[in-house]
Amino acid sequence: MSAKPLAEQPMAQDRPSRSEAEAAVRTLLRWAGDDPGREGLLDTPARVVRSYEEFFAGYGIDPVALLERTFAETEGYDEIVLLKDIRLESYCEHHMVPIIGIAHVAYLPANRVVGISKLARVVHAYAKRLQIQEKLTAQIANTIESVLQPRGVAVVIESEHQCMTTRGVHQHGASMVTSRMLGAFRDDPNTRRELMALIRSRH
């Protein structure tokens, strides 16, 4: 996978070292009221830093590069391509707690199609960053439109925000739904209805 464009990456001199990151975790443990020197917490700073490398791996992935290999041998297929129920794990940029849900990604090919795994990878590349759901939805749709240039793109995300379930209003079971419709999915109500019927269908 390609690295992010240099302009979007943190400057090397601004990025803390691993030891500095671990020291920050120890500070938070002390602030929470615990002792980072006790046996159960001795390795916690290192574990947290390793976890953050996984949680925020999306900063090191270029979503555009994921979509650049396409296929033209489609026998003229020009109907909806939909990958639904993509497991999504992201992180709220306001509280740094998980956003857990599913994404549905669709497009109407113009001339070329892309491997379906690449659609899921684009979702994960943007999700594995600090986000708000509205921005995440738009980023996925805008990137697919820009690279594939299809006749239409649609992204629908349904998720539960831990910043609502574990703090604040403690609203368990409340889900947030966002959508981004471009091209034919925005302009043609029949195409949009067909898409939503496909998303709602369950086997």
Q: Is 95 annotated for ligand binding?
A: yes
| Claim to verify: residue 36 and residue 73 sit in the same structural domain | no
Alpha-helical segments (H) within 56-203:
63-66, 116-127, 133-148, 162-165, 184-187, 189-200
pLDDT band at 86 (very low <50, low <70, confident <90, very high): very high
- Distance of alpha carbon 125 from alpha carbon 58, whole angstroms: 4
Report the number of distinct structural domains present in the chain.
2
The string of pLDDT tens digits covering residues 32-69 is: 999 999 999 999 999 999 999 999 999 999 999 999 98
| Claim to verify: residue 34 and residue 98 sit in the same structural domain | no
What's the domain range around 188?
A: 69-200
Q: pLDDT > 70: what percent of the chain?
A: 88
Q: Is 92 annotated for ligand binding?
A: yes
In a domain, 113, yes or no: yes
In a domain, 137, yes or no: yes
pLDDT at position 2? 41
| Claim to verify: residue 27 and residue 49 sit in the same structural domain | yes
Greater confidence (163 vs 111) lies with: 111
Residue the block writes with tokens 């290192």:
46
| Claim to verify: residue 92 and residue 144 sit in the same structural domain | yes
Q: What is the CATH number of the domain that holds 47?
A: 1.10.286.10
In a domain, 12, yes or no: no
| Claim to verify: residue 30 and residue 86 sit in the same structural domain | no
Greater confidence (26 vs 95) lies with: 26
Pairing of strands 81-92, 130-131: parallel
The string of pLDDT tens digits covering residues 28-42 is: 999 999 999 999 999
Burial class (CB in 10 A: 0-12, 13-18, 19+), 173: exposed
- Distance of alpha carbon 103 from alpha carbon 83, whole angstroms: 8
In a domain, 8, yes or no: no
Q: What is the CATH number of the domain that holds 74?
A: 3.30.1130.10
Backbone angles phi, psi at 131, to 5 degrees: -145, 165
What angle do helix axes 18-32 and 44-55 make, rounded to 10 degrees?
A: 110
Residue the block writes with tokens 């001339």:
111
Question: Does the CA dihedral 155-140-83-173 come out positive or negative?
Answer: negative
- Distance of alpha carbon 19 from alpha carbon 45, whole angstroms: 9
| Average pLDDT score over residue span 192-197 | 95
In a domain, 6, yes or no: no
In a domain, 3, yes or no: no
| Claim to verify: residue 90 and residue 160 sit in the same structural domain | yes
| Claim to verify: residue 131 and residue 163 sit in the same structural domain | yes
What angle do helix axes 133-148 and 116-127 make, rounded to 10 degrees?
A: 140
26-41 burial, b if ≥16 CB within 10 A, otherwise e? Answer: beebeeeeeebeeeee
